[in-house]
Amino acid sequence: LIEGWVETVVSEALGDRLPGVGALSETLRRRRATGGPAEQTFATLVGLELRPRKVREASRLWHLLTDSAGIDGRDGVWAHPDLLPDSSDLDSPAGFVDRVVGGGTSAFEDPIAQLLATEAREREEGRAAGDPEEPKD
């Protein structure tokens, strides 16, 4: 996700400012595909491998999200871990974009308000069931 996001942000920032940015991006993709010493060390030490196909899919997801939701919408996904795409979203980025653009992030805009609303709902459900409210310290 991070590699794809970085690729998206950097390519947007460079845009037409740097001649040959397409060739440079392709060179980096090919280097990533062959796996240099840094990637091999990372895989050995941490146990995670950077897979070029997944990086391309992540980059595609971030590009689609930027086109649909704008830069603020794209970067707002990082606001809460539950909003981040997972591997199934990388396989189907359109569904993820629909969730974000369709307002699926509103529950996490104010987590304190969400917690207070849940607490009030549970208190009302307890009263309806006949449970006395517990005194608070």
**pTM higher than 0.75:** no
CB of 62 closer than 8 Å to CB of 5: yes
* CA distances (Å), origin 36, targets 24, 27, 115, 123, 127: 17, 13, 46, 57, 63
Distance CA 12, CA 30 (A): 20
Residue 13 — pLDDT band, cuts 50, 70, 90? Answer: confident
What is the distance between the alpha carbons of residues 119 and 128, in angstroms, rounded to a whole number?
Answer: 14
* pLDDT of 46 strictly over 80: no
Predicted confidence at residue 61, as pLDDT, reads 92
Average pLDDT of the residues in 109-130: 81
pLDDT the model gives residue 83: 83
pLDDT at 107 over 50: no
Structural domain boundaries of the chain? 2-105
